[in-house]
Amino acid sequence: MKRIALLRERYAPSASTGAHCPVSGLWTPDQSPDEAHTFFEGQVFPTYQGMPTVWRRRAVGQE
């Protein structure tokens, strides 16, 4: 049985290129905050336009 703490949404505001996605959802690169990409938990964040970047998770209301 899962613990209650595991059922709550994990807070993961950002991650860098090469890191594993901590939680599924829409993520935006720092260079283009209006452009959203869908990543699933465990995927490795790619580069953006050939350059390393920080990926930021969109707030629930922005999806």
Q: Write down the pLDDT at residue 63.
A: 54
Q: Write down the pLDDT at residue 62.
A: 59
Domain ranges of the chain: 9-58
Q: What is the pLDDT of residues 12-58, one digit of tens each?
A: 799 999 999 999 999 999 999 999 999 999 999 999 999 999 999 99
Q: Write down the pLDDT at residue 59.
A: 77
Q: Write down the pLDDT at residue 16.
A: 96
Element spanning 39, H or E: strand 37-39
Return the residue matching tokens 């995927």: 43
pTM of the entire predicted model: 0.76
- Residue with the bigger pLDDT between 59 and 10: it is 59
State the Cα–Cα distance between residues 30 and 54, nearest whole angstrom.
Answer: 6
